[in-house]
Amino acid sequence: MEAYKRWVRSNKDYVHSLESLANGLTWLLPERFSASEIGPEAVTTILGIITAINEHIIDTTPIQKGTGSSEPNPFPYSLCISALKDLETLVEVVAQQYYGDDKKWNFIAITEATKVLVRLALFRNSGFKMLLHGGETLNVEKPSDNSSSQHRVGGFPGPEGNHGPGYLRNPEGRALSALNRFGENARMISQPSWLQRIQQQQSIMEPPTPVVERPTLSTILSEKGVNGALFVMGEVLCITRPLIYVLFIRKYGIRSWIPWFLSLGVDFMGFSFLSLVTKSRHGGQEKDFDLSVSQKDELKRRKLLWALYLMRDPFFSKYTRQRLERTGKMLEPVPVIGFLTEKLVELVIGAQTRYTYMSGS
């Protein structure tokens, strides 16, 4: 297994090219989107899981030789979520063929509930960080070296400590700095020379690793106040939205507008909470959430996913499908373009039955 990991990490571009080619060819498999598509869907699922494993190997590449993995959690949550998403469509196809259209939603709901539990566990264990791509992408911030490079010498605080460069400009700061240096010198003098040499070698060979405490729900609520509560609620709504959607489809049916509007409302409410806490100020009384570039991109991605409601029933059956079929008939007489448009419409209609209710989750 270690040999395979090394090969994947040293041939990332080659692996990505093979995965893209294989996943693209699965859309052209015979009997894809037909009544008995278990075989093609099983092939697609296996390729998807292999792709997820390779991405997990690449994402958890050790930062330096001799260091541990970059995976922030011992349990591979991102890999588990990706595998569940790939298995979900296969579960749907098998359940539909053996149990029918109505009972298949029981199995889909169980799969969605499992994904929700894994995502909630990841959300908690990551210190309540925003989930990127539903938890499939690791939300790992690069540590800043400013404080260690400017204010630390040999792993110990410099004369400025943690007070900043302007600290020594006032008498109190100079006095405390002098006392600090006096205490350090007295401590070094009182220690034997051999002990000083050992400590210096250890500080060079094994620089101290800063211990970062993982935020808990209570600390977020106490430090961020209302903004912290809204942020957690927004993420929880985003995580549970697919399960809520499937449960209401199971109760009212895929042709009902109730699951469609309810899912859209949950999406809009969760996104509104997140947008509110990242833009609000509250007169400076509460700390704001400073989003990283990847987190800002995640909010844009979630907003773009609202377009999938055009592909979800009953909106798709009543409006979108008619437009697609009308466009296909209009372009049918045109050579090549008409044929490609017909195949594209066929793929879109087939994919709509499998990949729209859970997309974006």
pLDDT digits (tens, 9 = 90+) for 128-160: 999 999 988 888 765 444 444 344 333 334 444
Distance between CA atoms of 36 and 188, rounded to whole angstroms?
Answer: 78
Residues near 256 by beta carbon (within 8 Å), at least 6 away in sequence = 248, 249, 314
Distance between CA atoms of 141 and 146, rounded to whole angstroms?
Answer: 15
Q: Per-residue confidence at 48, pLDDT binned at 50, 70, 90?
A: confident
| Window from 45-54, 164-173, 306-315, 349-358 with minimum mean pLDDT | 164-173
Q: 233 near 269, Cβ under 8 Å? A: no
Lookup result for tokens 């808990």: 216
Distance between CA atoms of 32 and 275, rounded to whole angstroms?
Answer: 40
DSSP string, 140-180: -PPPP-HHHHHHEETTEE-TTTTS-GGGGGSHHHHHHHHHH
Cis peptide before 157 (omega within 30 of 0): no
Q: 58 near 71, Cβ under 8 Å? A: no
Identify which has the larger pLDDT, 172 or 275: 275
Spell out the long-range contacts of 64-73 with Cβ–Cβ below 8 A and sequence spacing 24 or more: 70/138, 70/140, 71/138, 72/126, 72/138, 72/140, 73/122, 73/125, 73/126
Most trustworthy range by pLDDT among 185-189, 258-262, 285-289, 304-308: 258-262
This prediction has a pTM of: 0.71
pLDDT digits (tens, 9 = 90+) for 211-225: 556 778 888 888 888
Distance between CA atoms of 48 and 87, rounded to whole angstroms?
Answer: 9
Q: Which residues pair with 153 in a beta bridge?
A: 156
Please count the CA atoms within 13 angstroms of the CA of 359 that sit on its side-chain side. 17
Structure letter (DSSP) for residue 311: G
Distance between CA atoms of 55 and 219, rounded to whole angstroms?
Answer: 33
Residues near 111 by beta carbon (within 8 Å), at least 6 away in sequence = 84, 87, 88, 91
pLDDT exceeds 90 at position 50: no
* Tokens representing residue 279 in the block: 């833009």
pLDDT digits (tens, 9 = 90+) for 153-175: 333 344 444 444 444 444 444 54
Structure letter (DSSP) for residue 63: S
